[in-house]
Structure 1
Amino acid sequence: ADAFPDGEQSETFKKRLVDVQKTSEKSERVVSDFNLEHFGNGKEMFPFQKAGLEFLEATGGNALIADQMGLGKTIQGLSYIAAHPNQRPAVIVCPASLKLNWEREAEMWLETDDTIQVVKGGKPKPLTGDIVIINYDILKKWVPTLKEYLPQILIFDESHSIKNSKSLRAKAAVELAEVVPHKILLTGTPVLNRPTELWNQLRIIDPYKYPDSNFFQWHQRYCDAKKNRWGWDFSGASNLEELAQSLKTIMIRRTKDQVLTELPEKQRSSIFIPIDNKKEYQTAERNLQEWLAEQEGLKPSKRVSSVEHLARIEYLRQIAVKGKLKQSLAWIKTFLEGVEKLVVFATHKKIISALMEEFGECAVKIDGSVSTEKRQEAVDKFQTDDQVKLFVGNIKAAGVGLTLTAASNVAFLELPWTPGDLEQCEDRCHRIGQKNAVGIHYLLAKNTIDVTMAAMVEEKRGVISQITDDKNSLGFNLFGGKNDE
């Protein structure tokens, strides 16, 4: 049965949600009866952000804000905390790299006397803050302490991080959410690959509407569940229009072209680069094809794991990026001869090291080796120092939570596996505060697995768009230009 704040989904409540959705999508200013007198420190929320708060109010503080990256989900989450000063403590769970960002935003926007406590590693100890900020990596260890603290508001930032219900962090998130009356999830990419990734997020928000007992039924309906020799496969997608409609009572999503027309659109282009190790690449590609053919001919019990498959594919990707590296560095050098700054994303340590070796005098980097404090220093330096023209980021470490609007151009030396990660990286520049058109440049090794991956990512993006944006396509493709539809 459906469950809403009053225990049942009345027709009046249904109508209220529909009205709020329509208002939010139009980005009209909403007249609300909650008090935001002590919020903003002189800064004004955008109308669509106020509409997001109205949606949170209409859902009783149990919802998923899935606004596209750069539209201020953090501010909307903080505004709900500000609108309910008697609902304390509030707990914010986020990636480790974003803890300082949340602390900074809370200090900037909240005008209350709330104390802010940023939890660090080590042995759990008594909590004292009105607003507690903790990262996913240590959440499991702190769950008993957090539950005893009786939080009233719980925010999961980048909630796609808990999409895998079998992971320790997801289990910890579910356990903590069970004792909290108001749960708000924030992510611009609620689905990275397939509909099944929504399930754990939905059950956290509303365990009555999405109980464990409904797992199989829901997956059959929306994940094209199929039984094979190894069990059930939930990696598909089905009834996407119906799913998109059902999400409207629990999820609100606005895209930049809907609510922030003053923010320039992204201008995408693919730059195909010939590799200088063609023989090496062709040999590796042939070896991979032969190996895959051998695996196909074996009995299932004799085949190697999917991890081995990925490792061999990853090896081919490394050879491709190695072959395009020299030309890619030349492209970046030519770009930097102009006056504009550039953000470059890559995956492998060797590539990031090569970039820093070539451009270290005018570059900063963020990867897994950079501490949280040093990351903010790197961002600030890139944003304010005219001599620092290049930002080098690891796709995972630097793809979320950072504002890099000093640049209006982003280049990818390597592509991520998912469209969600791709958009997260792109939106480090394409966000509030950006005054110029944003150019996105994909440096693809010609006639290699790079091009295959680009097509795969684009196909995934089409499926995801049907779910979250309620349309067949996001309106663009990796190879530049608008789709006809």
Structure 2
Amino acid sequence: MDKMEKRCSPAEIEQKRLLALQRRQQAQLKMQTTPKNSPLQQSNSNDGTNVMRPNKLNNRFNPMEAKNFFSRTSILTSKCYMISNERFAIDISTFDPTVIDTFKTLPSKSYDVKTRIWDFHINDYDSLIQKLKNHKSNISVNGIPQNILQIFKKRLKPEQENILKQDLSKIDNKLISNLMPFQQEGVCFGISKGGRCMIADDMGLGKTIQALGIAHYFQESWPLLIVVPSSVRYQWSEAIYEFLPSIPVHYVHHFLNTKDCIGDEKITIISYEILSRAVITFEKHMYGFVILDESHALKSNKTARFQAAQRICAHARHVVLLSGTPALSRPIELHSQISLILPRFISYENYGVRYCAGQMTDYGWNFIGSSNAKELEVLLKTTCMIRRSKTDVLSQLPSKTRQVIILDPHLIKTDKQMTKIEKKLQKSMITGREKHNTLLEYFRESSFARIKAICNYVTDLFENKKKCLLYAHHRNVLDAICEVAESKGIEYIRIDGQTNPEERKLQVDRFQECDNCLAAVLSITAANAGVTLTAAHLVVFAELYWNPGILCQAEDRVHRIGQNENVLIQYLVAKNTADDHLWPLIKKKLSVLNEVGLNQDLSINNVDTSSQKEYGQRDLTSFMNISLSPGEQSQSQDDEKNNSVSKASSSAKDLKEMLEIDEDYFDSCSWDDIA
């Protein structure tokens, strides 16, 4: 620098500075004359050719600025969502000490060390959002929508604290005495919501009795409309007769076809299909209380059944939905169901964007995803839904629960041959081997008569996507069940008399280990022992069998060591078939076996009888009365009282008579193998 200062005078330095400024001004003029949309500009090279060079911007990057030397300015993002009915969490994209300091200023702050997420009371939401907006850091906040926020804030009122303490004295004493503690909680929840709720308990936890309890509490709002899958219509009427004896029988009406009429009955039971075809007729009658069983059938708001249900529910004061699987695959399926309970619930688009990862495409909104799942769960439980799994209430459940499902009598196709056999069985002179052979023939003919009803029930059962065992005796029934499974795309195994031992083991292993294999179609006589199928918790008997030991062994394919959940056993019973004779026969055999001391070997008696009666669950011996008239039932009850003090000699005589009639089938039951 000393040499340069000696060679250049101050005047020369000033002249060079001015020349540099002049060149800079000329360069700026050239950039201004270049078109704005042209990224390149021409310059002359020393050889006279035109060279295209990038157009330099006036605000070019200055690397000497400290804030730009390391990185460009970034935006910190945060997302808020509810984690309980009174607390929300905030998730930030990157760690920022100044933001954390802001979090610490709020009195309700809480930090989860495992998830590294902060959460606060909902009352601090507005304060936190305001502080983040005024923060010196560049923060983008994805907050909770105001309409959802208001829903949770309304639930903070003091009167909401004791919603489960309700006066149940208005409900029939028979029903109240049969409620388990968690079922009573469900009834109180429904009452606290004004009779507008969804009961989404697991299968087998008694959603029917809970819905009837809520409906009876609001009896002043009747008439009551019960919309169900066609396969369980008569199960509902039987439940009403059992748990609500104060309701006269003539108050209950099954609406069977579009030509049927509505009278002055208080309770109408109808299938979804018939309702969609007769909706105009039902719109003319104001139903104050509506129960929608298996409400996942209404998962799409574009179907005729949903639109029919919506038109009916629009005029109802109380709406109760029942489903063990409310959302079969996607959260969007819940919106149509919840809108029937809460018409002013979140709009379809807002719901889809918030909870279904909604994306706009060329064809409209796409709501097939899932987002903010925890908040959705909290929102539904806060507003209208109660859901308990079997593991939640396992301590309140007996190890095995039995149900009788009355098959739709209109799907039972009896013929002249069955009528002839029935008349023959009614004759008093037919006894012994002839009666046994006649009953066998009746049993075989009944298998054909009940196929359509069985397939109808199994079709609805497969919609739940639950692992199950399906037992039957006749090959034609097993074939029909397999055809239904194949038509529904259900993976299944089949074990019958033609299955060899090697294939039998492979089939069992597949059912136990493969989650996609949902059904085991089994022969009662071929698969009642020697297999373990504890991957399932549901056993369905599509047909009966006259040996109770065989039935109990079949039940225990799932109810054995390795089973950690409650087991539900369902018996499909068809009136005006051989079942009318098989149920009394099963009961008689059980009674005799108990009297001679063989009851300890039968797993059907392992469940505490007193506990079952306390919780309203019937054992197998009580089911036979369903096909008797009231007079016959009374006579049967008197006979039971008299037989309770019968002598051992009489028991031995009955046992001998039974063994003579049915010795082949008793021999097929190995008492030593019964678990």
- Identify whether the pair has TM-score above 0.5, normalized to the shorter chain: yes
- Gaps spanning 5+ residues in structure 2: where? 1-145, 401-485, 510-516, 530-539, 561-565, 571-603, 608-675
Q: Look up the SS of the partner of 2:306 in the other structure.
A: helix
The root-mean-square deviation of aligned C-alpha atoms, in Å, is 4.4
Q: Is the 8 A contact 2:528 2:557 kept in 1?
A: no
Give the direction of change, closer, same or farther, for the CA distance of 1:427–1:186 in structure 2 (3 Å limit): farther
- Structural mapping, 1:223-238, within 5 Å: 223-238=356-371
| Alignment pair present for 1:409 and 2:558 | yes
Q: What amino acid maps onto 1:138 in structure 2?
A: I
Partner residue of 1:386 out of 549, 553, 559: 549
| Alignment pair present for 1:45 and 2:179 | yes
Match of 1:58 in 2: 192
Q: What amino acid maps onto 2:192 in structure 1?
A: A
Match of 2:455 in 1: none
Q: What amino acid maps onto 1:121 in structure 2?
A: N
Match of 2:233 in 1: 99
How far does residue 112 in structure 1 lie from its aligned partner after superposition?
A: 2.0
Q: What amino acid maps onto 2:263 in structure 1?
A: L
Q: What amino acid maps onto 1:187 in structure 2?
A: S
TM-score by length of 1: 0.55
Match of 2:115 in 1: none
Q: What amino acid maps onto 2:279 in structure 1?
A: V
How far does residue 93 in structure 1 lie from its aligned partner after superposition?
A: 0.7
Distance 2:233 2:299 in 1: 20
| Alignment pair present for 1:242 and 2:378 | no
Distance 1:161 1:255 in 2: 21
How far does residue 167 in structure 1 lie from its aligned partner after superposition?
A: 1.4
Q: Look up the SS of the partner of 2:274 in the other structure.
A: helix
Match of 2:243 in 1: 109
Per-residue Cα deviation, 1:418-445 (whole angstroms, up to 9, x for no partner): xxxxxxxx96449xx9978xxxxxxxxx
Distance 1:191 1:383 in 2: 40
Distance 1:91 1:34 in 2: 22
Distance 1:386 1:333 in 2: 24
Q: Is the 8 A contact 2:524 2:550 kept in 1?
A: no
| Alignment pair present for 1:201 and 2:337 | yes
Q: Is the 8 A contact 2:200 2:324 kept in 1?
A: yes
How far does residue 390 in structure 1 lie from its aligned partner after superposition?
A: 8.7
Distance 1:227 1:126 in 2: 46
Q: Is the 8 A contact 2:287 2:312 kept in 1?
A: no
Match of 2:126 in 1: none
Distance 2:306 2:605 in 1: 34
Distance 2:288 2:396 in 1: 37
Distance 1:247 1:110 in 2: 30
Q: What amino acid maps onto 1:107 in structure 2?
A: Y
Per-residue Cα deviation, 1:420-474 (whole angstroms, up to 9, x for no partner): xxxxxx96449xx9978xxxxxxxxxxxxxxxxxxxxxxxxxxxxxxxxxxxxxx
Match of 2:427 in 1: none
Per-residue Cα deviation, 1:88-134 (whole angstroms, up to 9, x for no partner): 10011111111111111111000323411112124242233211111
- Structural mapping, 1:320-469, within 5 Å: 330-331=504-505, 355=522, 359=526, 381=544, 385-388=548-551, 406-407=555-556, 409=558, 428-429=568-569
Partner residue of 2:288 out of 145, 148, 152: 152
Give the direction of change, closer, same or farther, for the CA distance of 1:334–1:129 in structure 2 (3 Å limit): same
Distance 1:72 1:384 in 2: 28
Q: Is the 8 A contact 2:225 2:291 kept in 1?
A: yes
Give the direction of change, closer, same or farther, for the CA distance of 1:239–1:50 in structure 2 (3 Å limit): same
Q: Look up the SS of the partner of 2:544 in the other structure.
A: helix
Partner residue of 1:164 out of 300, 314, 317: 300
How far does residue 225 in structure 1 lie from its aligned partner after superposition?
A: 1.2
Give the direction of change, closer, same or farther, for the CA distance of 1:247–1:148 in structure 2 (3 Å limit): same
How far does residue 217 in structure 1 lie from its aligned partner after superposition?
A: 1.2
Match of 2:257 in 1: 121
Match of 1:176 in 2: 312
How far does residue 82 in structure 1 lie from its aligned partner after superposition?
A: 1.8
Q: What amino acid maps onto 1:126 in structure 2?
A: I
> Quick one: higher RCO (CA 8 Å, sep 6+), 1 or 2?
1
Q: Look up the SS of the partner of 1:232 in the other structure.
A: strand
Q: Is the 8 A contact 2:256 2:270 kept in 1?
A: yes
Q: Is the 8 A contact 2:227 2:293 kept in 1?
A: yes
Q: What amino acid maps onto 2:209 in structure 1?
A: I
Q: Which has the larger radius of gyration?
A: 2
Per-residue Cα deviation, 1:14-51 (whole angstroms, up to 9, x for no partner): 5544644xxxxxxxxx6422424524268431122121
Partner residue of 2:355 out of 219, 222, 247: 222
Distance 2:544 2:568 in 1: 15
Distance 1:184 1:383 in 2: 39
Give the direction of change, closer, same or farther, for the CA distance of 1:386–1:80 in structure 2 (3 Å limit): same
TM-score by length of 2: 0.41
Distance 1:52 1:130 in 2: 24
Q: What amino acid maps onto 1:35 in structure 2?
A: S
Match of 1:89 in 2: 223
Give the direction of change, closer, same or farther, for the CA distance of 1:149–1:225 in structure 2 (3 Å limit): same
Partner residue of 1:191 out of 303, 312, 327: 327
Q: Is the 8 A contact 2:528 2:553 kept in 1?
A: no
Q: Is the 8 A contact 1:159 1:187 kept in 2?
A: yes
Q: What amino acid maps onto 1:72 in structure 2?
A: G
Q: Is the 8 A contact 1:69 1:427 kept in 2?
A: no
Partner residue of 1:71 out of 196, 205, 216: 205
- Gaps spanning 5+ residues in structure 1: where? 21-29, 267-313, 336-344, 363-376, 392-405, 412-425, 437-485
How far does residue 156 in structure 1 lie from its aligned partner after superposition?
A: 0.5
Distance 1:34 1:174 in 2: 29
Q: Is the 8 A contact 1:409 1:429 kept in 2?
A: no
Number of residue equivalences: 316
Q: Is the 8 A contact 1:139 1:172 kept in 2?
A: yes
Q: Is the 8 A contact 2:189 2:386 kept in 1?
A: yes
Per-residue Cα deviation, 1:47-68 (whole angstroms, up to 9, x for no partner): 2212111111111111111112
How far does residue 253 in structure 1 lie from its aligned partner after superposition?
A: 1.2
Q: Is the 8 A contact 2:399 2:567 kept in 1?
A: no
Q: Is the 8 A contact 1:408 1:429 kept in 2?
A: no
Select between 158-167 and 110-119 the one with higher mean Cα deviation.
110-119
Q: Is the 8 A contact 1:91 1:154 kept in 2?
A: yes
Match of 1:299 in 2: none
Q: Is the 8 A contact 2:175 2:213 kept in 1?
A: no
Per-residue Cα deviation, 1:131-159 (whole angstroms, up to 9, x for no partner): 11111121112222222221110000111
Give the direction of change, closer, same or farther, for the CA distance of 1:57–1:234 in structure 2 (3 Å limit): same
How far does residue 330 in structure 1 lie from its aligned partner after superposition?
A: 2.0
Identity of aligned residues (%): 28
Q: What amino acid maps onto 2:342 in structure 1?
A: D
Q: Is the 8 A contact 1:382 1:389 kept in 2?
A: no
How far does residue 258 in structure 1 lie from its aligned partner after superposition?
A: 2.2
Q: Look up the SS of the partner of 1:33 in the other structure.
A: coil
